[in-house]
Structure 1
């Protein structure tokens, strides 16, 4: 998949609730082995824990020319020198985040399975829009982002689109021609060997 023309880039999420002390070596190993375009830190945890994780992730990722964003925490992104934020409320905070972070920051928006929210986020200035989950999962509100949503977006909207949520090798194969980024996280961190799990998904 990754060798095909116009193939999507890998967008990696750190483990939910991970601490800097436990995730550091494994994160560095993953970034050394795989061509990650962007690293995302979920917003779960205390601000102190998130700050320590943000510092570590920034150090590891920036050394490898990988951008780092964090869920929703705009001020934390500013304080810790991250590249931007991933907003989980669709289009609602895009303009505010852009004002706070500046024109050069990455502002992404998770829009579930809603074309309407995605279009509003794009019009508000989001750098990318994320749809998901692509199968039944706890992510989102129970509605699945179907393949035809990604197909329509790729044909209609210029803003890059991210596919995320309960992805499988078969789904990634179907999404590859119609997505700009494939987001993986829980799919690998829940396995005993995340490196092996990622290698099976990202071939």
Structure 2
């Protein structure tokens, strides 16, 4: 999850798929498209056994590509799959508990910061990142205006990195980058047509290389 690049980097959210091996193949193909900082694996409707199987198939693929593998919600699955981190979808209290229990062994970050008050509450527990938006929040081509506004406000005043959820259009990544956020999360923008996932990752990276604002050292 490092911000070694001097511009906004890509975070991928695994799409809803049931077959572990097929999911690993699809994500592996996408990662061949270029730079990805991390990949977040949501549980969706899978039971714990199926989620565990999927995590164990995906984590090595993600790590071999040089990205951080983050498991959403289930610390036991994250531990058994030897993931790099845990994405907490609960409130500030749940995030604080995870930070206390698992850092620095795991990357621990949180979402569900729907407004400034809750974002600041989460920031107080010093997570590794704050996520603005929902993992399945890409319901329109553009990123949600509220998430863009929160990301811009956060990036202007807090050092904890921000991930902002993009939309279903890959070009929405640039609007996120322009907020000053360190990371943009994409799901359907990359995986709507899995055969094009690698080329979308490549195109988004090229766009960010060309147009995204640069961070100061």
Q: Shared topology, TM-score over 0.5?
A: yes
1:89 partnered with 2:90: yes
> Runs of 5+ in structure 2 lacking a partner?
207-217
The TM-score with structure 1 as length reference comes to 0.83
> Runs of 5+ in structure 1 lacking a partner?
none
1:194 partnered with 2:176: no
Please name the residue that 1:123 is paired with. Answer: 124
Contact 1:13 1:184 in 2 (8 A): yes
Deviations 1:60-81 (A, max 9, x none): 1222322111111012111221
Cα distance change, pair 165–157 in 1 and its aligned pair in 2 (3 A) = same
Contact 1:191 1:197 in 2 (8 A): no
Q: 1:59 deviation in Å?
A: 1.1
Deviations 1:78-128 (A, max 9, x none): 122111211112423112112332323111111343111111111112110
5 Å matches for 1:129-140?
Answer: 129-132=130-133
The TM-score with structure 2 as length reference comes to 0.79
Where in structure 1 do 4 or more consecutive aligned residues deviate above 6 Å? none
CA distance in 1, matches of 2:138, 2:60: 32
Q: 1:198 deviation in Å?
A: 3.6
CA distance in 1, matches of 2:48, 2:122: 26
5 Å matches for 1:167-178?
Answer: 167-177=168-178, 178=180
Q: Secondary structure at the match of 1:11?
A: strand
CA distance in 1, matches of 2:37, 2:138: 24
Please name the residue that 1:184 is paired with. Answer: 186
1:105 partnered with 2:101: no
Please name the residue that 1:12 is paired with. Answer: 12
Q: 1:167 deviation in Å?
A: 4.8
CA distance in 2, matches of 1:182, 1:138: 15
Cα distance change, pair 127–55 in 1 and its aligned pair in 2 (3 A) = same
Please name the residue that 1:50 is paired with. Answer: 51
Structure number with the bigger relative contact order (C-alpha 8 A, sep ≥ 6) is 2
Greater shift, 168-177 or 51-60, is seen at 168-177
Contact 1:70 1:84 in 2 (8 A): yes
Cα distance change, pair 6–163 in 1 and its aligned pair in 2 (3 A) = same
Greater shift, 19-28 or 65-74, is seen at 19-28
Number of aligned residue pairs: give it: 194
